[in-house]
A and B are shown apart, each in its own frame.
Chain A
Amino acid sequence: KAGVTQTPRYLIKTRGQQVTLSCSPISGHRSVSWYQQTPGQGLQFLFEYFSETQRNKGNFPGRFSGRQFSNSRSEMNVSTLELGDSALYLCASTPGAKGDIQYFGAGTRLSVL
């Protein structure tokens, strides 16, 4: 069974630009969550999508948004990039029930110059 796939693996953008990251979950998984990892901050939860609907949301500004498609693939968008958005962005998929173990992709490393 294929794991969680994130593309691209690396991105370099400049301030003010926007970026879209993609996540393909494990086949059959209906929940996709997104996290931001920065040095010293651990994994900070951005949002979770289940069956094309945002089910949970973390404390990030509106510049961070996402969506989920009918095949459970998810995209995350960051608009008006800031230097502080440089981070590793991870997505995780689960079947969608409470307490499910999360399966993570390898992440997209975003550098904002």
Chain B
Amino acid sequence: LAKTTQPISMDSYEGQEVNITCSHNNIATNDYITWYQQFPSQGPRFIIQGYKTKVTNEVASLFIPADRKSSTLSLPRVSLSDTAVYYCLVGTGGSYIPTFGRGTSLIVHP
């Protein structure tokens, strides 16, 4: 299983763009990269998923370089409600045991 490394915590201010980078040096050819968001005492919620290059949806963008050894979740113009823990997951086909790790705790300040 590919192991992921993320910063433990990040701070930002309302209106700023936030970029959270995840390292996954051992990513396999058929692995996808998925990001989840979790608010306190709630289950994680899917944000975005990608395989290579760039993916964008109404919530975030995901940038994946050509070597796929890292990925960056970009949150445009964050608000206080974006304060949460963000998890980067890399999964393999077949038996799927995702490793959530400790995630990145993002705190958005007024």
- Do A and B share a complex? no
Interface residues of B (CB under 8 A from A): none
Interface residues of A (CB under 8 A from B): none
